[in-house]
Amino acid sequence: MPSEPMTSIDSQVCESTWYAIYTRHQHEKMVAQNLTSKGFETFLPLYATTHNWRDRTKALSLPLFPCYVFLKGGLERRLQIVTTPGIHGLVSSAGKPSAIPDIEMEAIRRVIKSGARVEAHPFLKNGDWVRITHGPLEGIRGILVRKKNISRLVLSVEMLGKSAAMEIDAFQVEPVNLARQRDRNTEHGAGSRPSRDPEAIGLG
């Protein structure tokens, strides 16, 4: 039985969907540049770090998610994608490219665009989920972790098993369950705005 033709709605959804490309080690920048030159929309989040050698220190810009480049749509030109030098293939499930949830991509893109200091972090799936309550990154959700009295918000791309972290002031976040309760109260016109004191909201 012949497959059904893709509708215009399906096509629009595919074009607005983000996918992940698996690349050879240290080929991420070259892949992103080559795909961009072919007219594809790519996203390669980078973070700044320094490497110390015996005689010098050098500032580097490294991929936040090593061996991955993000691609928006463009699957109708799949052959041009997979034949690009340095690419192993599209991250797929059951033979079909796997779409990355919009909420995960939006969070990573907003953090990178904001210029916030971000770095790679071991993958986290479970923990204390919080939401940023104000500022340019308001609404972004992640897992709150603490290390050496420093709070970090961990953002993950679950499909890849990869995470990134940014430093954040504990006063900028609130537990997700409290945020949901506040939203419900707002919808019903009840309650005052909860305190941002970390101790008052269980973050101290």
Q: Report pLDDT digits (tens) over 154-186.
A: 999 999 999 999 999 988 999 988 655 555 555
Q: Which of 72, 100, 128 is the last residue of a domain?
A: 100
- Find the domain containing 61 and state its range: 1-100
Select from 70, 74, 3, 76 the least CA-distant residue to 31.
70
138 plus 78 within the same structural domain: no
pTM of the model: 0.79
b/e burial code for range 5-35 (CB count within 10 A of at least 16 → b): eeeeeeeeebeebbbbbebeeebbbbbbebb
CATH number at residue 73: 3.30.70.940
For 12, the token pair is 């629009």
Split at pLDDT 50, 70, 90, the class of 198 is very low
Q: What's the domain count of the chain? A: 2
> To the nearest 10°, the Cα dihedral for 65, 71, 72, 75?
-150
Q: Which of 43, 70, 100 is the last residue of a domain?
A: 100
Question: How distant is the alpha carbon of residue 14 from its chain centre?
Answer: 19
Q: At residue 197, does pLDDT exceed 90?
A: no
77 plus 105 within the same structural domain: no
